[in-house]
Homo-oligomer: A and B are copies of this chain.
Amino acid sequence: MGKAGLPVSPLAPAAFPDLPVIEGVQFASAAAGIKYQGRTDVTLIRIAPGSTVAGAFTRSSTRAACILDNQAKLAQGGDAPQGAAIIINSGNANAFTGARGQESVDAVTGAVAQSLDLPQGRVFSSSTGVIGEPLPHDRILAVVDDLVAGLQDAGAPDAARAIMTTDTFPKGAAAVIDGEGGPIRIAGIAKGSGMIAPDMATMLVYVFTDAAVPADLLQQALLSGLDSTFNAITVDSDTSTSDALILAATGRAKAAPITDLQEPAGRAFVEALHGVMRELAHLVVRDGEGATKFVEVAVTGAASEADAHKVAMAIANSPLVKTAIAGGDANWGRIVAAVGKSGAEADRDRLTIRFGDMVLAENGWRAPSYDEAAASAYMKNAELRIGVDLGLGQGARTVWTCDLTHGYIDINADYRS
């Protein structure tokens, strides 16, 4: 069972992965009773002195107070000579809470700064849950001392669980690569299940590495991976007020510092980082509210990459495509309609549609080799790949989504109350 009493997604991995300990990062979780009693709902993460921090946040014009605060703090730069911290709560998004929203952020980050002897400008925060309710921040303040006392290197799995809302499983991903002179470790946790159509990053994601990376390069490595990871997933086309991805590098690895992202060591780091980001993004889709199918939509041959993105997202967000997938119906006509509405340049007579390796449609017409029985059999898989080639140019984009089922309606028709 997930934290909210929902059955675990059939697309969940068998187990939470073994995350490597990132030296210089410690976690603690506590139950503050923000929305429910008896569940861990606050997480504190301490990041060692000398680390660098990068972040990406939602572009929603109604973004939450903590997002605005994080953005203001990171605008001062990503160096953390005295260290940094992140305090996260679930159960309440502290979004659309007026001036009181910022007061809550100040109270919570101020308390953490004092307890950990950090500048308040290096204490970041995230809140996820209901929008528009005041954050009962006194409940968080009441557990700060316990959190500080409980900080431990191996606390990431508990933290991944504490940040869940309608998630049905905790999400983590990691990579270990050979740096110059020693290994570099990257580990991240994420939450997200509904209100997933990220516009910069998704719900809450925290990634840590022991690599030594200057703040500007860290930010650059993060941003260059967004479009192919978190900005390439959608559960329900709804963008959250609270999307946040924070990345910290502690520099505690024995490996030589990363000083150039174009050099082999830098490229290997970026590739591993993006791999971890992609895996976390996929886990969010696998826990999409009500999801029973994990769907890759790969668009090629578009006039531009922007067009490929439009087409891929039009398909991945189409309620008619997603309900057909839920029903195991190889209804590729709905993919044609989604291509048509996308706003991207498209030519009916150059369009090719594949399910897995099967060509269903080509040259503006059902493929001669089309086999309804085989297509229907393919749709029974839990993991599907829809390929669309527009036959126009070199633009390509792959995105990931899930199906739209009765489970989504069950979860969302009465989530708040």
Contact = CB atoms under 8 A, between A and B. Distances in A.
Name A's interface SS.
loop
Interface of A: 58, 60-63, 93, 95-100, 130-134, 194-195, 197, 199, 236-241, 317-320, 323-324, 326-329, 331-334, 336-342, 344-349, 351, 361, 363-366, 376, 404-406, 408-409, 412-417
A320 B289 CA distance: 11
Contacts of A62: 336-337, 339-340, 346, 348, 351
15 contacts: A60-B337, A60-B340, A60-B341, A61-B339, A62-B348, A96-B336, A96-B365, A98-B363, A132-B366, A238-B338, A238-B341, A326-B409, A327-B414, A329-B416, A329-B417
Contacts of A406: 406, 409
Residue among A93, A319, A323 with the most chain B CB within 10 A?
A: A319
Contacts of A349: 98
Contacts of A347: 61
A324 B195 CA distance: 13
Contact of A333 (B132, B363, B414): B132
Contacts of A338: 238
Q: What's the number of copies of this chain in the assembled complex?
A: 2
A262 to B, nearest CB: 34
B323 A409 contact: yes
Given A61-B348, A238-B338, A327-B414, A320 B132 contact: no
Contacts of A409: 323, 326, 404-406, 409
Contact of A332 (B132, B318, B415): B132
A412 B241 contact: no
Contacts of A324: 412-416
Residue among A97, A236, A331 with the most chain B CB within 10 A?
A: A331
Residue among A99, A237, A376 with the most chain B CB within 10 A?
A: A237
